[in-house]
Amino acid sequence: MYDGFYKLSKRPFQLNADTEFYFDSSVHQKAMMYMRYGLTQGEGFIVITGKPGTGKTLLVKQLVGILNKSKVVLAVIVSSQLNADDLLKTITSAFKLNFKGLDKASLLVGLERFFIDQAMQGKKVLLVVDEAQNLSNEALEELRMLSNFEMAGKSLFQTFLVGQNQLLEKLFLPEMEQLKQRIVATCQIKPFDGQETKAYILFRLHKAGWQQRPQFSDSAFPLISAYSEGIPRKINALCDRVLLFGYVSELQVIDAPVIQQVIADIEEERFLADVDPNHAQATDLVPVKEGLEQRVLVLEKLLRDIHEVLGRASTV
């Protein structure tokens, strides 16, 4: 569709976590440095948090791609309300060990043997838990217990916890004190500011073979930044709609009025979703189950933001 019309090699704003489109922003650089630091330490927990859509899963995929597989044995799991016993089975399976029919004691013995064997080969064992905010307190405690495995005074097992902001709140509960003491570093991935939003959009366009068609006027970027709140997934969703609108309207320039029109279309869809759920359409930009009164407040704020952005642009 629009990728052919604009002669792009692929759609630049797909929502899937594709490492080809990994944008090494200042916040992602910082998070990666923390994880690299954690690997040098070889012990304890590294905690990476952020709002939904800020690129945590893509960060994990980028880490997996750059690790030296000859020195680090890595397993990545995605947590979904796992209890302690299920977590042990999931970890065992992730390291390609047998878990069927084994009780908890046998699972622990098998994991310890595996950790020791890898250490004897000079390798580190790393577990990355994505969506870690879903872990129960009991499961987190199980991870802490696994971090107790040592040989010759050195830890045999390390964990990176990656999740939404409520993960950090959970880890700092009084009952999590022992685990908290084993946290080596924490890093929060924050949304992009206006400049990074613009850089992110242009980066993804260039990765998709963009040749200045369509052109993006400078007036477009502040509106995209304001509406998406600098969250990469929201930026992707909005920009994908913008390019689709440009294709349908046969536009060669994307400017502020175009962004405003696309935002208005999205808000109309959200309004219809509130009035009649049968009209609901999928969007990653914002939740659709808010009350009408709240929607009016959101729209009023959006209009104020747009006027403010346009006012600043007119004075430049």
Do residues 41 and 126 both lie within one domain?
yes
Measured distance CA(5)–CA(213) in Å, rounded = 9
CATH number of the domain where residue 180 is located = 3.40.50.300
pLDDT given at position 50: 95
- Residue type present at position 277: P
Measured distance CA(62)–CA(130) in Å, rounded = 13
What would the two tokens of residue 170 be? 């959970």
Tell me the pLDDT tens digit for each residue of 83-133. Answer: 888 899 999 999 999 888 889 999 999 999 999 999 999 999 999 999 999
Measured distance CA(301)–CA(38) in Å, rounded = 42
Ordered alpha helix ranges (H), 149-219: 166-171, 177-180, 194-207
Residue matched to tokens 């997996």: 64
Tell me the pLDDT tens digit for each residue of 173-204. Answer: 999 999 999 999 999 999 999 999 999 999 99
Phi, psi torsion values for 10, nearest 5 degrees: -165, 170
Domain that holds residue 260: 193-315
- The pairing of beta strand 154-155 with beta strand 150-151: antiparallel
The total of structural domains in the chain comes to 2
What would the two tokens of residue 262 be? 């696309």
What is the three-class DSSP state of 229?
Answer: coil
Q: What is the mean pLDDT of the chain?
A: 87
Do residues 91 and 112 both lie within one domain?
yes
Residue matched to tokens 């509960």: 173
Do residues 209 and 139 both lie within one domain?
no
Do residues 37 and 158 both lie within one domain?
yes
Do residues 120 and 184 both lie within one domain?
yes
- In a domain, residue 248? The reply is yes
Measured distance CA(160)–CA(108) in Å, rounded = 19
Do residues 43 and 172 both lie within one domain?
yes
Do residues 310 and 294 both lie within one domain?
yes
pLDDT given at position 277: 55
- In a domain, residue 2? The reply is no
The CA distances from residue 292 to 277, 278, 297, in Å, are 13, 16, 9
Do residues 163 and 197 both lie within one domain?
no
Residue that is last in its domain, among 145, 169, 189: 189
Do residues 55 and 76 both lie within one domain?
yes
* CA–centroid distance for 18 within its chain: 12
Residue that is last in its domain, among 157, 189, 221: 189
Do residues 110 and 95 both lie within one domain?
yes
Measured distance CA(259)–CA(261) in Å, rounded = 5
Do residues 232 and 141 both lie within one domain?
no
Residue that is last in its domain, among 165, 189, 213: 189
Measured distance CA(179)–CA(248) in Å, rounded = 54
What is the three-class DSSP state of 231?
Answer: coil
Query: How does residue 152 score in pLDDT terms, banded at 50, 70 and 90?
Result: confident
> Is the confidence at residue 215, as pLDDT, over 80?
yes
Share of the chain above pLDDT 70, in %: 86
pTM: 0.82
Residue matched to tokens 């808010």: 290
